[in-house]
Amino acid sequence: MSDVMESEASNMHNVICDRDHMAQITSTQAVTLVDKQSTSMPMLQLLNPTGELLNEQYKNAWDKKIALKLFYAMHFTRILDERMVAAQRQGRISFYLACTGEEAAIVGATAGVEMRDMIMTQYREQGALVYRGFSATQFMNQMFSNALDPNKGRQMPIHYGDKELNFMTVSSPLGTQIPQAAGFAYGQKMAGQDAITLCFFGEGAASEGDFHAGLNMAAVLECPCIFLCRNNGYAISTPANEQFKGDGIASRGVGYGVHTIRVDGNDALAMYVATKEARRFSLKNNRPVLIEAMTYRLAAHSTSDDPSGYRSRDEEIVWREKDPIMRMHRYLQQVGWLDEKDLDGYISKTRSDLLAAVKYAENQSVAPLTEIVTDVYKDIEPHLQDQLNALRAHVENYPESYPNTAHPIASDNQTGGPK
């Protein structure tokens, strides 16, 4: 070993300044084990559950337009979820994952950043896409795995991705996007962009090693990004108290030297204000911020799950009363910004748009067979070309066994579809 690892320090001329890794540390002369009560992480709340503004100081922190945009996007998300859970029950799609109860956390945060900011998500953040203008048809093309899905039907439903909307394609392995967000933000900084990265994940995913890596690296390498943990109380069946013993996820931020804020995740305006401030701070100082959104997964984990196996109806009812859409509704009523008729119109139009989009998307063909080997590498490498050729010959030999690719359904419209 010795020779290969040998130092060649002789060519280092620059002076190294003395370091003191203990410069900030005070001393004590008594043994005390410090426990978690030593930190305090209160939760920002601007609206109470009945929709009253709790701190007048913030009353101009948003305007009517943004409040309504937020509110409508939350509604769209709720309706989308209802529709798709039903579609899965009908066997029209194989899988779905709803964010019911968490719309405020997701949409509020998305409203707090800019369109040019990159968003990386876990999988329960369709509200972010809604806010950014992903259409009903775009949602359906992904979920029906058809040829118009930008992912070319390669991933399970809910693995959205849209380059134009700065929304990174979803990946199932949990936590992997967290260090990636730090790296992406570092790239934004190096490229001199006036943009940050907003990275969502669940409190379960925060147990992964990648969480630790991502937060620490973002702090050390001074990355302008926001880590947004949705603490919704469950990771599938595992309750938060079997996930961690500390004071939520927020209390970890401090340990990384990351500025941190805990927010009521069912309060869309608190989420909006906190995220906006986090973005300002992060971009100005090239520093990460951790936001913990306290919320609750009212939905089942996914359409494959039945929560009655691990939690009580009563518990769910408590949280149903804290519905974030209801809270925002009351607030908008109180400040006189709500046009109930317009809302009803929006809701029914959204329903019919979604219905039309489902019908459209389920009639599209799957991507052509070639796409099974494209995008593995930038070009189709020779061994993949060989595999494709063999596969194509085989499919042509047995067309009835591979109906989707042997007889592609002629698609009437390859780019558009209903809006």
Partner 1 sequence: MAQLNLLQAVNHALHTAMEADDSVMVMGEDVGHFGGVFRATSNLQKTFGKARCFNTPLVEQGIIGFANGLAAQGAKPIAEIQFADYIYPAFDQIVNETAKFRYRSGGQFTVGGLTIRTPYGGGIAGGHYHSQSPEAFFAHVPGIKVVIPRNPYQAKGLLLSSIRASDPVLFMEPKRLYRASVGEVPEMDYELPLGKADLVQNGSDITLVAWGAQVEILQEAAQKALSHGVSCEIIDLQSILPWDRETICQSVIKTGRCLINHEAPLTGGFASEIAAVVQSECFLHLEAPIARVCGLDTPYPLAHEKEYMPDALKTFEAIMQTVHF
Ligand X SMILES: Cc1ncc(C[n+]2csc(CCOP(=O)(O)OP(=O)(O)O)c2C)c(N)n1
Q: By CB under 8 A, is residue 187 in contact with partner 1?
A: yes
Which residues ranging from 44 to 103 are in contact with partner 1 (CB under 8 A)?
94-95
Q: By CB under 8 A, is residue 117 in contact with partner 1?
A: no
Q: Residue 262 or residue 329: which is nearer to its own copies going by CB? A: 262
In the numeric block, the tokens 């130092």 are attached to: 7
Q: By CB under 8 A, is residue 172 in contact with partner 1?
A: yes
- 231 SS3 class: strand
Q: By CB under 5 A, is residue 232 in contact with Mg ion?
A: yes
Give the tokens for residue 215. Answer: 């937060």
CB under 8 A, 24+ apart: contacts of 341-350: 343/72, 343/75, 346/72, 346/75, 347/75, 347/79, 350/75, 350/76, 350/79, 350/80, 350/136
Q: By CB under 6 A, is residue 189 in contact with ligand X?
A: no
Q: By CB under 8 A, is residue 155 in contact with partner 1?
A: yes
Q: Per-residue DSSP letters for 169-209?
A: PP-SSTTTHHHHHHHHHHHHHHTT-S--EEEEEETTGGGSH
How far apart CA 126 and CA 315 sit, in angstroms, is 25
User: Exposed/middle/buried for 118, CB within 10 Å: 0-12, 13-18, 19+?
Assistant: buried
71 conformational bin, left if phi > 0, alpha if psi -120 to 50, beta if neither = alpha
- Residue 217, CA distances (Å) to 44, 292, 355 in order: 26, 19, 44
How far apart CA 381 and CA 388 sit, in angstroms, is 11
Q: By CB under 8 A, is residue 118 in contact with partner 1?
A: yes
Which DSSP category does 322 fall into? T
Pick the piece of the chain touching ligand X (CB under 6 A) from 229-237, 276-284, 309-317, 376-384: 229-237
Distance of closest approach, residue 385 Cβ to partner 1, in angstroms: 11
Q: Residue 230 or residue 327: which is nearer to ligand X going by CB? A: 230
Q: Residue 156 or residue 343: which is nearer to ligand X going by CB? A: 156
Q: By CB under 8 A, is residue 205 in contact with partner 1?
A: yes
Distance of closest approach, residue 34 Cβ to its own copies, in angstroms: 5
Q: By CB under 6 A, is residue 297 in contact with ligand X?
A: yes
Q: Which amino acid type is present at position 326?
A: M
Residue of 202, 224, 265, 307 that binds Mg ion (CB under 5 A): 202
Q: Residue 204 or residue 324: which is nearer to ligand X going by CB? A: 204
How far apart CA 253 and CA 188 sit, in angstroms, is 22
- Closest CA relative to residue 366, chosen from 394, 402, 390, 397: 402
Q: Which does residue 404 bind out of partner 1, its own copies, ligand X, none, counting CB within 5 to 8 angstroms by kind?
A: partner 1
Q: Which does residue 162 bind out of its own copies, ligand X, partner 1, none, counting CB within 5 to 8 angstroms by kind?
A: partner 1
Give the tokens for residue 309. Answer: 């196996």
For the window 239-278, what string marks contact with ligand X as x by the rule CB under 6 A?
A: ----------------------------------------
Pick the piece of the chain touching partner 1 (CB under 8 A) from 35-43, 107-115, 200-208, 338-346: 200-208
User: Exposed/middle/buried for 142, CB within 10 Å: 0-12, 13-18, 19+?
Assistant: buried
Residue of 204, 265, 307, 417 that binds ligand X (CB under 6 A): 204
Q: Residue 236 or residue 326: which is nearer to partner 1 going by CB? A: 236
How far apart CA 275 and CA 280 sit, in angstroms, is 9
Q: Residue 148 or residue 299: which is nearer to ligand X going by CB? A: 299
Pick the piece of the chain touching partner 1 (CB under 8 A) from 70-78, 214-222, 348-356, 407-415: 214-222
Q: By CB under 6 A, is residue 203 in contact with ligand X?
A: yes
Counting residues that bind ligand X (by CB under 6 A) gives 15
- Are 315 and 46 in contact, with CB atoms under 8 Å apart? no
What b-and-e string marks burial along 317-326, b requiring 16 or more CB atoms within 10 Å of the CB?
Answer: eebeebbbbe
Q: Residue 48 or residue 171: which is nearer to partner 1 going by CB? A: 171
Residues in contact with Mg ion by the rule CB under 5 A? 202-204, 232, 235
Residues in contact with ligand X by the rule CB under 6 A? 124, 172-174, 202-205, 230, 232, 234-236, 297, 301
